[in-house]
Structure 1
Amino acid sequence: MNIFTGISDSVQLMFRRPRRGQFAALCYRIAEATGEPEILVLTSRDTGRWVIPKGWPMGDKPGHEVAAQEALEEAGVIGQPENQPTGTYTYQKGLGDGVAVPCQVQVYALRVTSQVENFKEKGKRRIEWVSPAVAERRVHEPELKRLIHHFSQRFSATRG
């Protein structure tokens, strides 16, 4: 029995495509005036949704280095990424042919130490520093919302 009988070819492809892996940077800084963390969010180039810098694997480069490279290229920020992922989230990556591919994203916290004036995707995205609560509201993926929330709890615990 074929479970795909009567289902369109594009939907069949979506179910048969393996989950792809990506790496992302959860970029943060501590606001001098308040001592509170701020999270960097940016808009995606295609849909304009609020996201964090992320990208595909780069050869044998470790995930935390890929995340740092994506943060530089997409948002012009430089910092020190943690070597271990802060967490993961999944989402559906829309491809040019209208098919969505499931992606699992390993997220690495990156404390931003500087910003550069010129970077690869300058002018192609909106970039903003916001509170963790605002970042949670802006991103669409429920798992990413939770990851940001749990990450921000690190700072509450150290002040409490």
Structure 2
Amino acid sequence: MLNESAQTELTKTVSGRDVAQAGALCYRRNENGGVEILFVGSRRNGRWGIPKGHVEGGEVSSAAALREAFEEAGVSGVVDKTVFGTFSYRKDTSPNQYHVAVHLLKVSRIADKFPEKGVRKTRWFPLETALREAAQPGLLLLLSSIRSINL
């Protein structure tokens, strides 16, 4: 059963104005202990961002984030059930406003095959480089807050 806030989001989605999404901020530590962030390229314009997509009916945002991470980047691991943060954006080709609930995902496995392997590019970036490469301003703010937490 959806709570009132979730029902409101679904109603907005149907009207085409606001679209609820979930995203995964995928990270790992490199051999030197530094944090690396996984980005996927947009299919439309190639800009770097995180795996994200629509929350399906009855799905919680953490499960949607985990599903999108696998579909778009072939990664799996431990997803934090708590929303790390949110950001909103618009696509160049759509009048909709997209609202993304972002979950941290500590990557433990990378698959050889996944649904969007031939469609998207993926790349690991050191955190400082990811801060320069992030396409959405709201994502940049979330990335900058990673410095202050102990992943």
Task: State the SS of the aligned residue for 1:89.
Answer: strand
Report the counterpart of residue 149 of structure 1 in structure 2: 144
Report the counterpart of residue 119 of structure 2 in structure 1: 124
- Structure 1: which 5+ residue stretches go unaligned? 1-15
Q: Which runs of 4+ in 1 moved over 4 A?
A: none
1:82-97 paired onto structure 2 within 5 Å = 82-94=80-92
Aligned length: 137
- Structure 2: which 5+ residue stretches go unaligned? 1-14
1:1-160 paired onto structure 2 within 5 Å = 17-31=16-30, 33-94=31-92, 98-155=93-150
Larger Rg: 1
In the TM superposition, residue 47 of structure 1 has moved relative to its aligned partner by 1.2
**Partner Cα separation in structure 1 for residue 136 and residue 104 of structure 2:** 17
Task: State the SS of the aligned residue for 1:129.
Answer: strand
Q: Superposition RMSD on alpha carbons, in Å?
A: 1.5
**Partner Cα separation in structure 2 for residue 142 and residue 74 of structure 1:** 21
What are the superposed Cα offsets for residues 40-87 of structure 1, whole Å, 9 maximum, x if unpaired? Answer: 011011111111000001111110000000000000001111011100
**Partner Cα separation in structure 1 for residue 135 and residue 64 of structure 2:** 23
**Partner Cα separation in structure 1 for residue 106 and residue 141 of structure 2:** 19
Q: TM-score normalized by structure 1? A: 0.81
What are the superposed Cα offsets for residues 99-141 of structure 1, whole Å, 9 maximum, x if unpaired? Answer: 3211110000000011110000002111111111111111121
**Partner Cα separation in structure 1 for residue 94 and residue 56 of structure 2:** 23
Identity of aligned residues (%): 35
Task: State the SS of the aligned residue for 1:35.
Answer: coil
Q: TM-score normalized by structure 2? A: 0.85
**Partner Cα separation in structure 2 for residue 55 and residue 91 of structure 1:** 12
